[in-house]
């Protein structure tokens, strides 16, 4: 077997996040974007002595359990890869993958609780970052998500099923508007062009909408026209903010060098478990709020009684977990690197009349050295890549009674968990929460 060979195989298993596993000519073959039970044609992209990697060419025969996808963009868009999988099967796959990862680390018994499903299977997201581009080279302007396995092609996701109708209406209207006035999108290869991203938020409980258009400074936005376009769009929710951000950096990320508020103010308000949270354009907030309520309730249950206990909420975002735990705690201290999120966290603590919460802006690696309090409980919600290797030992050296680790990527948890075990901690409970239906991702 050599590179570029074409093989036909049946997928036997699935590794996180979405890598099909099979055997061929006494080698373990990995084929991304496949499902167990599918018969596929694939091209070998890398071959070693005992294993190989292959790129999917086509699915020849679907798995017996597959169903008709809900979304018309399935297969083209890189966003959802489980749409053809019945929801109960999705939960089974995710739970199995996480348990296999954890079982590969732990030698002692622990309690693996049943996965918690998302309250909503579709239209659950409260935020999207749509990209401007084209679907085919030099084709008409597109606005949506990246084509699967592509850094450049953008699929018009006007029928996206993981957001509600207001997102779809906003996308369609804005795409139609910019197609009509011949604005160009930002080309990553040449660093030339105007339109970059469209950030949209809509809260679940209050129905408030925030729209932030992100462009370069290479052209001018007709602000009055853009404002009228959105305010005259028939939406179910209420538009609370329209903003125009300028970002001239080369990074492929939705952010702002400067931001101008065209309408309202840079916030929408969400409700979680009886508390209210103001969310700005770029602050982190769980994208599935009903799922977040399930997740945070589990955290609260895992911790148990918190009276007279000090809690550190590290990688705290807008402070949701810390504030949900605060009413029954002595003190909560949060650390978050995004200053805007920290501002919102402290603002939200005041909004919820919580006087025992403090949120600090800075890198956990550096700021944790400045804390004088001794925590009884540390809640960790690190980014996808996990905890910085230099920070993890500093965190453990506080020697709290309990750690709660909320992982959005089980392979990062796999890397971090052994460090806790080496320092004498024991895993007692693990539970998955499906925050991202129709995708391979899961919270643990």
pLDDT reported for residue 76: 86
Buried b / exposed e across 218-245, counting CB within 10 Å, b at 16+?
eeebeeeebbebbeebebebebbbbbbb
User: Could you name the CATH architecture of 288-433?
Assistant: 3-Layer(aba) Sandwich (3.40)
Q: pLDDT tens across 12-45, in order?
A: 999 988 899 999 998 999 999 999 999 999 999 9
CATH class of segment(s) 127-271: mainly beta
Digit-coded pLDDT (tens) for 131-162: 999 988 888 999 999 998 777 899 999 999 99
pLDDT one-digit tens code per residue, 323-382: 999 988 999 999 999 888 899 899 999 999 999 999 999 999 899 889 889 999 999 998
DSSP string, 378-435: EEE---TT-S-HHHHHHHHTT--SEEEE--S-HHHHHHHHHHHHHTT----EEEEE--
In angstroms, rounded to a whole number, what is the distance separating the alpha carbons of residues 424 and 444?
21
Query: Taking the CB of residue 135, how many other CB atoms lie within 10 A of it?
Result: 17
Mean pLDDT of the chain: 94
Tell me where in the chain the CATH 3.40.50.150 domain(s) lie. Answer: 288-433
pLDDT at 78 over 90: no
Domain with CATH 2.40.50.1070 in the chain: 127-271
Domain 6-61, CATH among 3.40.50.720, 3.30.1490.100, 3.40.309.10, 2.40.50.140: 2.40.50.140
pLDDT given at position 256: 93
pLDDT at 384: 86
Q: Which residue reads 């979680």 in tokens?
A: 272
pLDDT tens, residue by residue, 206-216 = 999 999 999 99
pLDDT of residue 232: 97
Looking at residue 10, its pLDDT comes to 97
- Residues 14 and 93: their CA atoms lie apart, in Å, by 8
Rounded to two decimals, the pTM is 0.93
Structure token digits, residue 320? 């949701």
Where does the chain hold its CATH 2.40.50.140 domain(s)?
6-61
Q: For 253-294, write each residue's pLDDT tens digit.
A: 999 999 999 999 999 999 999 999 999 999 888 999 999 999
Which amino acids are annotated catalytic?
408
């Amino acid at each position: 077997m050599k590179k570029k060979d074409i093989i036909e195989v049946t997928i036997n298993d699935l590794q996180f996040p979405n890598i099909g596993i099979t055997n061929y000519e006494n080698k373990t073959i990995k084929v991304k974007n496949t499902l167990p039970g599918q018969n596929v044609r694939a091209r070998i992209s890398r071959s070693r002595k005992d294993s190989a990697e292959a790129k999917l060419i086509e699915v020849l025969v679907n798995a017996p359990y597959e169903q008709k996808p809900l979304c018309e963009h399935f297969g083209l868009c890189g966003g959802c890869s489980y749409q053809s999988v019945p929801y109960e099967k999705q939960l089974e796959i995710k739970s199995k993958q996480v348990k296999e990862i954890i079982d590969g680390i732990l030698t002692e018994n622990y309690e693996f609780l049943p996965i918690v499903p998302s309250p909503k299977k579709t239209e659950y997201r409260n935020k999207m970052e749509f990209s401007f581009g084209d679907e085919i080279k030099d084709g008409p302007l597109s606005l949506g998500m990246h084509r699967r396995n592509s850094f450049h092609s953008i699929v018009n996701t006007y029928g996206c099923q993981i957001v509600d109708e207001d997102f779809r209406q906003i996308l369609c209207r804005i795409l139609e508007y910019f197609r009509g006035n011949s604005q160009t999108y930002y080309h990553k290869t040449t660093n030339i062009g105007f339109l970059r991203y469209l950030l949209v938020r809509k809260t679940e409980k209050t129905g408030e909408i925030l729209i932030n258009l992100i462009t370069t400074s290479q052209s001018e936005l007709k602000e009055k026209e853009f404002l009228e376009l959105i305010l005259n769009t028939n939406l179910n929710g209420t538009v609370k903010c329209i903003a125009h951000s300028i970002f001239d950096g080369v990074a492929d990320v939705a952010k702002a060098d400067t931001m101008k508020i065209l309408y309202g103010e840079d916030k929408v308000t969400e409700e979680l478990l009886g508390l209210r949270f103001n969310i700005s354009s770029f602050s982190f907030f769980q994208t599935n709020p009903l799922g977040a309520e399930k997740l945070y309730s589990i955290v609260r249950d895992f911790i148990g009684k918190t009276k007279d206990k000090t809690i550190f909420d590290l990688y705290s975002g807008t402070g949701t977990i810390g504030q949900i735990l605060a009413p029954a705690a002595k003190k909560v201290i949060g650390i978050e690197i995004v200053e805007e999120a920290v501002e919102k966290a402290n603002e939200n603590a005041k909004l919820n009349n919580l006087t025992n919460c403090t949120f600090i802006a800075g890198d956990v690696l550096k700021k944790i050295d400045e804390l004088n309090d001794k925590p009884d409980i540390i809640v960790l919600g690190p980014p996808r890549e996990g905890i910085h290797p230099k920070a993890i030992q500093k965190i453990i050296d506080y020697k709290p009674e309990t750690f709660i680790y909320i992982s959005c990527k089980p392979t990062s948890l796999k890397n971090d968990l052994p460090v806790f075990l080496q320092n004498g901690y024991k895993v007692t409970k693990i539970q998955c929460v499906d925050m991202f239906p129709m995708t391979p991702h899961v919270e643990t």
